[in-house]
């Protein structure tokens, strides 16, 4: 009989790329029904089974990061920047979760370093498991097209002490840099689901991702306002009056949970009205409350009005707030919520 044929795979002479970034020493391959192995390339569709699996694993974050249970998300409906759309397509085509995770870590290693003047409280992202700082500048758009003359675009820079979180930050920075403040406001956070990255994230890190994107949107607005370019831009990309949005509150010394709840909800939901009442004193020493043991905080009553609640059921409004508060919710014994949209007031 003829000797067995031995097939040797050689390392490619050029690094494989994902959205222009070399894969971190990984031999990616696509399997399309045959036994042969080919260099990785974007696949056109995800399967319904994968989407259902994603939905099951990410149910705790389904309020905001909706899963495409039967059909793949239409990227055009997510209002992504060209760079972000390219990376979402590339990530969604990587055949396994472990490789996507490694790619995020590789992107983290390539994020440019920042100086200590960036690591200040004004640039810190609230509600993240790791410490994250991000800031931006507004600069004239470069290019030879006369139509771009006078167009101002945003360029971000930042850092995190957590590698996976730093990878998510690197993804956002690369995807949003060079976009206008208005384009950034339109970006739908569901792209993390379309990229299949949310499958690898815990609810806490999903929450951190939402917070990072929300802070980066706000940074873009602030930069545009300072440059006199934000007259018609709001946090939803429309023409809503900014004066109606609550942007600050009076912090209370010795009440870290109260301050965290207010900071998180104001930053992300941008409410037109918010009142948080600490009723912990009425339940002094309530057993099982971590918040009471740490700072004497266990019971709160929240009244909030925000555009984000428009079209959501009562249950989903509550789920949204629970998800945004992340680990803080684990320390609260009871949170009474009255959440309305402006049209309901």
Residue 119 neighbours by CB under 8 Å, 6+ apart: 133, 159
Tokens representing residue 83 in the block: 């760079």
User: Exposed/middle/buried for 268, CB within 10 Å: 0-12, 13-18, 19+?
Assistant: buried
The DSSP-derived string for 16-31 is: -EETTEE-SS---EE-
Does 128 qualify as catalytic in the annotation? yes
Tokens representing residue 200 in the block: 């690898």
What's the rounded Cα separation, in Å, for the pair 116 and 263? 23
Answer for the pair 152, 113: CB distance below 8 angstroms, yes or no.
Answer: no
Question: What single DSSP character describes residue 110?
Answer: T
The SS3 assignment for 188 reads coil
Q: How many CA atoms, within 13 angstroms, populate the side-chain half-sphere of residue 320?
A: 24
| Type and span of the H or E element at 273 | strand 273-278
Active-site residue, selected from the candidate residues 128, 214, 235, 262: 128
Answer for the pair 71, 55: CB distance below 8 angstroms, yes or no.
Answer: no
> What are the angstrom distances between the C-alpha of 133 and each of 208, 267, 323, 334?
12, 15, 21, 31
Tokens representing residue 72 in the block: 């793949």
What's the rounded Cα separation, in Å, for the pair 109 and 295? 37
Answer for the pair 275, 266: CB distance below 8 angstroms, yes or no.
Answer: no
Positions marked active-site: 128
């Amino acid at each position: 009989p003829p000797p067995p044929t031995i097939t040797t795979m050689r390392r490619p002479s050029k690094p494989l790329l994902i959205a222009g970034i070399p894969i971190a020493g990984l031999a990616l391959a696509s399997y399309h029904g045959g036994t042969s192995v080919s260099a990785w390339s974007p696949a056109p569709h995800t399967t319904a089974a994968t989407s259902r699996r994603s939905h099951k694993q990410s149910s705790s974050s389904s309020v905001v990061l909706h899963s495409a249970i039967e059909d793949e998300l239409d990227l055009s409906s997510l209002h992504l920047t060209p760079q972000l759309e390219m990376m979402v397509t590339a990530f969604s085509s990587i055949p396994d979760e472990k490789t996507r995770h490694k790619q995020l870590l590789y992107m983290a290693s390539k994020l440019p370093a920042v100086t200590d003047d960036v690591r200040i409280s004004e640039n810190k992202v609230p509600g993240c498991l790791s410490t994250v700082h991000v800031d931006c500048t507004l600069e004239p758009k470069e290019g030879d097209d006369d139509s771009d003359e006078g167009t101002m675009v945003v360029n971000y820079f930042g850092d995190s002490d957590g590698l996976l979180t730093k990878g998510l930050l690197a993804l956002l920075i690369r995807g949003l840099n060079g976009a206008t403040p208005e384009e950034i406001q339109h970006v739908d956070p569901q792209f993390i689901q379309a990229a299949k990255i949310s499958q690898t994230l815990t609810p806490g890190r999903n929450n951190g991702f939402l917070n990072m994107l929300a802070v980066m949107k706000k940074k873009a607005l602030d930069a545009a306002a300072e440059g006199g370019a934000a007259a018609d831009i709001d946090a939803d990309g429309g023409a809503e009056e900014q004066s109606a949005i609550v942007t600050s509150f009076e912090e209370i010394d010795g009440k870290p949970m109260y301050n965290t709840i207010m900071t998180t909800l104001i930053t992300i939901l941008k409410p037109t009205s918010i009142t948080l009442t600490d009723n912990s004193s009425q339940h002094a020493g309530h057993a099982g409350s971590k918040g009471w043991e740490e700072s004497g905080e266990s019971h709160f009553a929240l009244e909030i009005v925000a555009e984000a609640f428009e079209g959501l059921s009562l249950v989903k409004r509550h789920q949204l707030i629970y998800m945004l508060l992340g680990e803080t919710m684990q320390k609260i014994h009871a949170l009474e919520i009255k959440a309305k949209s402006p049209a309901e007031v």
